Amino acid sequence: MYKSIFVDQCGYLPEMTKRVTFRSDNPVAFDVITSDGHRVFHGTASARIENLCAGETDYVGDFSALTAPGRYRIVSDSLSESDTFEIAGDVYEDVFQKAFAFFYLQRCGCDLPTSAAGIYAHRACHTKQAFVYGTSEKLDVTGGWHDAGDYGRYIVPGAMAVAQLLYAYETNPSLASLYHKPGDSTDTADSASLPSCLEEIKYELDWMLKLQREDGSLYHKSSCYRFCSTIMPDAEQDDIVVSPVSATATADFAAVAALSIRFYKKYDPIYADRLADAARKAYEALRIMEPFQGFKNPPGISTGGYGDPHDTDERYWAAAELYKAFGDTKYREDFELFAKQQIYHGYGWGNMGTYGNRAYLTTEYSTDIDLKNKIIEEMITLAEEKLRIAEQDGYGTCLKAEQYHWGSNMVAANNGLHLYDGYCLTGRREFLNAAADQLHYLLGRNPMGLCYLTGCGTDAIKHPHHRPSIFLGKAMPGMLSGGPCGRRADPTSKGVLPEEFPPAKALVDMSGSYSTNEVAIYWNSAFVQLLASVVRG
Ligand code: G3I
Ligand code: 9MR
Ligand code: ZN
- The predicted-structure confidence for 199-251, as pLDDT tens digits, reads as follows 999 999 999 999 999 999 999 999 999 999 999 999 999 999 999 999 999 99
pLDDT at position 1 is 56
Distance 430 CA to ligand 1 centre (A): 31
pLDDT at position 71 is 98
Q: What is the mean pLDDT of residues 323-329?
A: 98
Calpha distance 451→444 (Å, rounded): 4
DSSP 7-41: --TT-B-TTS--EEEEE-SS--EEEEEETTS-EEE
Q: How confident is the model at residue 62 (pLDDT cuts 50, 70, 90)?
A: very high
Does any ligand 1 atom lie closer than 6 A to the CB of residue 518? yes
Ligand 1 atom having least distance to the Cα of 152: 39
Q: Is 150 a catalytic residue?
A: yes
**pLDDT, tens digit, 9 for 90 and up, residues 160-193:** 999 999 999 999 999 999 999 999 876 555 678 9
Residue nearest to atom 14 of ligand 2 (CA): 227
pLDDT at position 185 is 76
**pLDDT, tens digit, 9 for 90 and up, residues 269-319:** 999 999 999 999 999 999 999 887 789 999 999 999 999 999 999 999 999
Q: How confident is the model at residue 47 (pLDDT cuts 50, 70, 90)?
A: confident
**pLDDT, tens digit, 9 for 90 and up, residues 98-144:** 999 999 999 999 999 999 999 999 999 999 999 999 999 999 999 99
pLDDT at position 188 is 57
Q: How confident is the model at residue 38 (pLDDT cuts 50, 70, 90)?
A: very high
Residue nearest to atom 15 of ligand 1 (CA): 406
Calpha distance 506→487 (Å, rounded): 8
User: DSSP class of residue 83?
Assistant: P
pLDDT at position 291 is 82
Distance 474 CA to ligand 2 centre (A): 19
Distance 108 CA to ligand 3 centre (A): 4
Buried b (16+ CB within 10 A) or exposed e, 511-526: bbbbbbbbbbbbbbbb
pLDDT at 78 over 60: yes
Q: Is 38 a catalytic residue?
A: no
Q: Is 518 a catalytic residue?
A: yes
pLDDT at 465 over 80: yes
pLDDT at position 187 is 59
Provide the whole-model pTM.
0.98
Report the chain's mean pLDDT, rounded to a whole number: 97
pLDDT at position 293 is 78
Closest CA to 63 of 72, 52, 53, 51: 72
pLDDT at 471 over 60: yes
Ligand lying nearest the CA atom of residue 294? 1
pLDDT at position 81 is 96
Ligand lying nearest the CA atom of residue 347? 1
Cβ partners under 8 Å of residue 208, min gap 6: 144, 155, 158, 159, 162, 218, 253, 256, 257
Q: Where are the beta strands (DSSP E) in 197-339?
A: 221-224, 240-242
Distance 507 CA to ligand 1 centre (A): 15
Residue nearest to atom 24 of ligand 1 (CA): 406
In the three-class reduction of DSSP (H, G, I as helix; E, B as strand; rest coil), residue 232 is classed as: coil
β-sheet with 240-242: strand ranges across: 138-139, 130-132, 240-242, 221-224, 153-154
CA 40 vs. chain centroid, Å, equals 36
Distance 248 CA to ligand 1 centre (A): 16
pLDDT at position 191 is 73
Which residues, by Cβ under 5 Å, contact ligand 3, an ion? 108, 125-126, 233
Closest CA to 485 of 525, 451, 448: 448
**pLDDT, tens digit, 9 for 90 and up, residues 395-415:** 999 999 999 999 999 999 999
pLDDT at 97 over 90: yes
Ligand lying nearest the CA atom of residue 146? 3
Ligand 2 atom having least distance to the Cα of 515: 6
Q: Give the residue, out of 226, 405, 490, with the most ligand 1 atoms within 8 A of its beta carbon, to mutate for a pocket test.
A: 405
CA distances to 63, 360, 486 from 78, in Å? 19, 54, 30
Does any ligand 2 atom lie closer than 6 A to the CB of residue 148? yes
Does any ligand 2 atom lie closer than 6 A to the CB of residue 306? no
Ligand 1 atom having least distance to the Cα of 149: 40
pLDDT at position 189 is 57
Calpha distance 502→523 (Å, rounded): 22
Catalytic residue among 345, 463, 465, 466: 465
